[in-house]
Amino acid sequence: MDARTQNCDSTVSPSPSCIDFLPSPLPHRIRIIGGRHRGRVIRVPAIADARPTPDRVRETLFNWLGQDLSGRRTLDLFCGTGALSLEALSRGAALAVAVDRNPALIRALTSTAASFGVEGLETHVTDAEGFLAGERRAFDIVFLDPPFGSDPWPWLLPRAVEILSPQGFVYAEAARKLAPPIDAITWRHARAGRVHYHVLRRHSCLAAAATG
């Protein structure tokens, strides 16, 4: 079975009782920090490599992207807990596509979204490369937070920029500062501890803004 045939749609939400959650003390409970679901709790499954984007980083990110994402379409290729997708939907995004190869994380995300009454979440159980191989839609925001032990950036950043809408953003978290691909520019960059986080945009988008 190839990666695309393993995709699962999130229209049917699992029972929370079938999901193995860690105990409640932080950092295994994180909160939505903005939008209509601000303050709602996301419970993190008992999975060793689940590494939620810290609150301070999420706050900075959405200050960069804007607090009102009405009508936007987002793609999170290593969604983990799904915090970034839920933050986007909380701020009015029309569609948040969340991809992760771990089915337990996807089950937890769909259960959390159902408990919030969130609409617009689309989930897929597959790896990022397999998903992108068959994806033809354009997205306004692409979130990239792969495991720190991996190095997908040489192929991942160019492909992410390729599927951006004309005014879109790529958000990337990494253990080092990343160089943008040839057709993009690093629009924002900051560091929190050992995490470098970046927002990239197309050259053409910035050139149009400068001449407009």
Average pLDDT value for the chain: 85
DSSP H helices, 34-82, are: 55-65
For the chain, the maximum distance between any two Cα atoms, rounded to a whole number of angstroms, is 55
Residue-level pLDDT at 29: 79
| pLDDT score of 78 more than 80 | yes
Q: How far is CA 71 from CA 65, 100, 129, 196, in A?
A: 14, 23, 26, 28
| pLDDT score of 199 more than 90 | yes
Residue-level pLDDT at 3: 34
Express each pLDDT in 45-76 by its tens digit.
776 566 678 888 999 999 999 999 999 999 99
Q: How far is CA 74 from CA 77, 138, 181, in A?
A: 10, 9, 20
| pLDDT score of 11 more than 80 | no
- Tell me the average pLDDT across 198-211: 75
Residue-level pLDDT at 149: 81
| pLDDT score of 8 more than 60 | no
Residue-level pLDDT at 30: 87
Q: How far is CA 164 from CA 16, 55, 90, in A?
A: 34, 25, 21
- Tell me the average pLDDT across 156-168: 96
Express each pLDDT in 86-99 by its tens digit.
999 999 999 999 99
Express each pLDDT in 113-160 by its tens digit.
999 999 999 999 999 999 999 999 999 999 999 988 889 999 999 999
Residue-level pLDDT at 16: 39
Report whether CATH 3.40.50.1970 matches the domain 4-211. no
**Burial of 33 by CB count in 10 Å (0-12 exposed, 13-18 middle, 19+ buried)?**
middle
Output 1 or 28, whichever has higher pLDDT: 28
pLDDT band of 19, cuts 50, 70, 90: very low
Domain boundaries, the chain: 4-211
- Contact between 113 and 121 (Cβ < 8 Å): yes
- Contact between 99 and 76 (Cβ < 8 Å): yes
